[in-house]
Structure 1
């Protein structure tokens, strides 16, 4: 994709039409360059000591964070073994869930991230059999073999890509995601990213993304989904890309929405249903004043609605639905009708519920005594806001889980 320097907004035009082999050769060249630049130290773990399971679909997690996508995948792997109803019942309690989670057809083998507190959270909630790698992905020399790769790389350079996305040095994480796929060649991958990916550069950015993943050896399926359509009490639009290795005879189809206003759909999950029981005992929440930017639009939903998108920031957390609605008093100005003192941000426990994490899920704040309470809480808000809602991840993974179960 080329960006033309003209007055006003940047203009984009399509890049030349590369064939799949041209793209693959370019990817290989860029990966070799990145490898030469960044991997200058020995491998710091022994693959032979990883808990690889031959009777399971082994999972490799990149940018795993607190584990929302990974946990949803695990649930999907249980659904095909013991059924959704039974899984839901056992999922309510950590001990009962831990007693059956080994039955999932998915086994988490390796997870990688550089967010220290998020990895501490991951470690507290996943079995010890998972190797948790706290290392910059650029310096991971070799990834373990796996059947499924999951995760969504941050993509800061997508908005102003060069002749190809891999030419932008800010997209090194994207390059290493593809490096992992080309090295490991899993049967499937699941990638999640923000809605804006589809429209950047008038769609040319996304065209390149698909082309790059296809060049890595995959048929790629994508869809923009809203989490509330799948039983998540939140307005959250995200793009999912699902890759199926070219030699696998399986056509992935995104599940149809289960919730909505239609005759044959379940009603949307409301904030009353999700967090109503926490009103008197919400747990800890981020405190402090609200910026002019924050108050430039409505930040408060009613009890019978779904939450605004949960952001990766305590300061930007939506307002609790209790009390009077916010009131618009100017073009870019809203106020609290009943006063700022009667309104608070959603708590950690509440946003975890809205992201469909179970109540027993423990989040680490890093236990840094030198950091303020708000600072420690913000570490948790960031983890939860960055996560894929657990139930959404579960639904997206179910067709893959079913195919693996039927073809094992």
Structure 2
């Protein structure tokens, strides 16, 4: 007799969840996060504002995996600071090993599918050896891994943001091919995203001094373009399009234009560029809000990936049920 069809939505456990950009995107496409974890107290509090998942605020290495529920999927945007191209890249950075807890949980719980996200720099750290080791670790636990570099701007996100996405299906599902979402025909511009946004309050905008690092390159794009990447550090957030153009003085040296007022995106504008809903609230002070926003997976990028994962998972489970039914009849 065939197994009963899986009741939707699919359940999910989310590691390194932050404010929940990845989770929110997947929830819009047939997945329900039932348990989430992060070590940032403000991010956990933000997650609790919009989801009804059990959110455990603790370092992953201190959590008893027996307390984590079984689920159909496990997500994780594991910490990327050690991999990032925007800062120092160290092969022996301790944060580079946190993904191993993700691997361990996948091994113990054996969900149907896993989805991991990280920065583009992961592909080239250690001449690609780190990336290959991560893929091999997941595959050794019984999963077929499909990696792809995606730019969020191709999926309705008004921002250039290249990220590595790993989708893994349990090998007994016999998935030999997985198609990532096709880019949308048109990009969403900064104007499209922010045209209805009110002028921010002064306390919503980081007004810290501009560092030499900030002044080392152009930080402004026009209304009809997509934004530069929204980072986690408030001081490095790009300039609002109303700011005067930056002027190049020499190699790695720019200055602000003279006509107009120069300001960064407000935290609310940065959140909308990350495709969080305009009324989405973040817990914490200004620095913390920018950090949570910059660390998040853009909601619409997550949603695009989730739609394909949902489609493939439905296909696999339906096929497996049909095969079992045929065997039972025989």
Question: How far did 1:244 drift?
Answer: 0.5
Q: Which among 172, 176, 193 is matched to residue 118 of structure 2? A: 193
Specify whether residues 54 and 141 from structure 1 end up closer, same or farther in structure 2 by C-alpha distance, changes over 3 A only: farther
Q: Could you say what secondary structure the match of 2:29 adopts? A: helix
- Are 2:22 and 1:69 equivalent residues in the alignment? yes
Tell me, in whole angstroms, the C-alpha distance in 2 between the residues paired with 1:347 and 1:155. 24
Question: How far did 1:151 drift?
Answer: 1.1
Partner of 2:322: none
Question: How far did 1:147 drift?
Answer: 0.6
Partner of 2:60: 137
Tell me, in whole angstroms, the C-alpha distance in 2 between the residues paired with 1:269 and 1:231. 6
Question: How far did 1:351 drift?
Answer: 0.4
Partner of 1:123: 48
Partner of 1:306: 226
Q: Which moved more, 1:234-243 or 1:169-178?
A: 169-178
- Are 2:283 and 1:364 equivalent residues in the alignment? yes
Q: 1:64 touches 1:151 (CA, 8 Å); kept in 2?
A: yes
Asked which structure has the greater CA Rg, the reply is 1
Q: Which moved more, 1:237-246 or 1:197-206?
A: 197-206
The 5 A counterparts of 1:3-402 are 55-77=8-30, 106-127=31-52, 130-142=53-65, 143-155=68-80, 161=91, 170-250=95-175, 251-258=177-184, 265=185, 267-278=186-197, 280-281=199-200, 284-338=204-258, 342-365=261-284, 376-402=285-311
Q: 2:80 touches 2:119 (CA, 8 Å); kept in 1?
A: no
For normalisation by structure 2, the TM-score amounts to 0.86
Q: 1:61 touches 1:70 (CA, 8 Å); kept in 2?
A: yes
Structure 2 unmatched ranges of 5 or more: 1-5, 84-88, 319-330
Question: How far did 1:125 drift?
Answer: 0.8
Deviations 1:227-249 (A, max 9, x none): 10111100001100001000013
Q: 2:158 touches 2:188 (CA, 8 Å); kept in 1?
A: yes
Q: Could you say what secondary structure the match of 1:252 adopts? A: coil
Partner of 2:324: none
Specify whether residues 361 and 160 from structure 1 end up closer, same or farther in structure 2 by C-alpha distance, changes over 3 A only: closer
Q: Could you say what secondary structure the match of 1:253 adopts? A: coil
Question: How far did 1:109 drift?
Answer: 1.1
For normalisation by structure 1, the TM-score amounts to 0.70
Deviations 1:87-131 (A, max 9, x none): xxxxxxxxxxxxxxxxxxx2211001110000100001112xx11
Structure 1 unmatched ranges of 5 or more: 1-52, 78-105, 163-167, 259-264, 366-375
Tell me, in whole angstroms, the C-alpha distance in 2 between the residues paired with 1:149 and 1:204. 24
Tell me, in whole angstroms, the C-alpha distance in 2 between the residues paired with 1:193 and 1:270. 24
